[in-house]
Structure 1
C-alpha cells in the first residue's frame, strides 16, 4: 500500500530545494535575522544536547545549532532539500525519511534526544491523517524530560496550504503520545502567544 503523499510534496513535487535555499539566502543578504529558531532552541537546552531537526529541509536551523555546539540529526522526506543541506554541511547526519514512517530506532536508542524541533510548518504540510503518528514517532525519540518544539501556521495568512491542524488537535496528539504541555509563543523571539495565526508550542516528555 502506497503512503499518502504529503501536502509538501503536493505543493512542491519534492524538487524545490535550490529555490528554497536561494530565497533564504536572499533574505539573509538583506540583513534579516535567520537564526530565530536556533536561538529559541538554544534557550531551552544547553550546548552539547542532542537535537533532532524533524523536517530539517535545507538544514538552516540544524547547521546553526551544530555551530553552537549541539549534537544534531536532521530528517526530511525531500531529497532536493537534503541535497542542499548535505552540500552545506557534509559532516552532519542527514536522513531521508517520511516522518509518518520514520523509525526512531534509526537515530536513537531507547529515546535519548533532549530536544525535537519541527519548525517551518511541518505539521500542516504532512499527509492528511498522519499527524498523530508523527507526533508519536517524534515523542519516542525523546529522553524522559526531553522537549518537543513545533512552530506552525494556523490560518491562510501563515500557510502555503489550507489550514489543516488546530492547536487543540495538536495538544491532544501530544497528550496521547505522553507529552505534557509546557508553554506556547507567538514568535521564535518568544513573544507570548496572543491567539494569532502562528504558534510555537513546547511540550515535555
Structure 2
C-alpha cells in the first residue's frame, strides 16, 4: 500500500534526538513508565493491547512486563532497530498503522495506546483514517489512550486543537470519556492533552446523580 509521508518522516534526521534522549534516560535508570502506569490501570489483567507508534519500545515493554499481551507497531526503521536492541524480548512489527494487517485483532483489543505525540506526527489528513482503524480493533468495552501536544510541540508536528480532535474522534465512531493534562491525571492543560476514548456505542459511566460522564 502506498501511503503519504507522515510529518515524522518529513522531518528526517531531525527526529533522531527522540531515540537518543530516551536511550540515555533508560541507561540512567530514569522513570520512563508514566504512560504505561496509566495504561495498566485502564485494563484488567492479561489484557490485549495494541501500541501504535511504539517508538523505541519503552511503553510496550513496560506493559508486557506487567503481564499484558502487547502488539507493538512502529513505522520508523531506526526506532524499530533501537527497540529490538533495548528490549530484545519485545516483538515489534515494522509497519504503519494504516498498512498493518490487524485482522487478527479485529474487535479483540482492550486498549490501544497512541502516546508520545503519535497523533500530531501522522500524515496530513489521515487522522480520521487512523482513528477509524483503531475503532475497528477495539473490543466492545475497549478503550484508547492518546497523548500529544496540541500546540508548541516538536517543530514538525501539527497544531491539533482539542475542538478539532474531538470532531475527528466523533467522526470516527469514538467518544472522549476523559481529558487530563498529564499521565498522572492532572487537570486539563493547554500544553499537553491526555485522552481516554471508547467506542461510541460502549456503555457510558455515570455520576452518582445518574448523569453520564463526558470529556471536553
Q: TM-score, normalised by structure 2?
A: 0.83
Task: Tell me, in whole angstroms, the C-alpha distance in 1 between the residues paired with 2:151 and 2:15.
Answer: 25
Q: Shift in Å at residue 74 of structure 1? A: 0.5
Q: Secondary structure of the residue that 1:187 maps to in structure 2?
A: coil
* In 2, Cα distance between equivalents of 1:14 and 1:142: 34
Question: What's the secondary structure of 2:99's corresponding residue?
Answer: coil
CA distance in 1 between counterparts of 2:113 and 2:125 reads 20
The 2-side partners of 1:101 and 1:136 are apart by 13
Q: 1:188 to 1:54 in 2, by over 3 A?
A: same
Matches within 5 A, 1:1-205: 2-13=2-13, 16=16, 20-29=18-27, 32-105=30-103, 107-108=104-105, 110-156=106-152, 158-194=153-189, 196-205=190-199
**C-alpha deviation, 1:15, in angstroms:** 8.1
Give how far 1:102 is off.
Answer: 3.2
CA–CA distance in structure 2, aligned partners of residues 11 and 144 of structure 1: 37
Helix, strand or coil for the counterpart of 2:125? Answer: coil
Q: TM-score, normalised by structure 1?
A: 0.88
Query: Any conservation in 1 of the 2:121–2:157 contact (CA below 8 Å)?
Result: no
CA deviation after TM superposition for structure 1 residue 2, in Å: 4.2
Counterpart Cα distance in 2 of 1:49 and 1:198: 27
Name stretches of at least 5 consecutive residues in structure 1 with no aligned partner.
none
3-state SS of paired residue (1:140)? helix
| Distance in 1 separating the partners of 2:90 and 2:63 | 11
Give the RMSD, CA atoms, in angstroms: 2.1
Select the structure of larger CA radius of gyration: 2
How many pairs align? Answer: 199
Q: Which runs of 5+ in 2 are unaligned?
A: 200-216
Cα gap change, 1:93 to 1:162, in 2 (>3 Å): closer
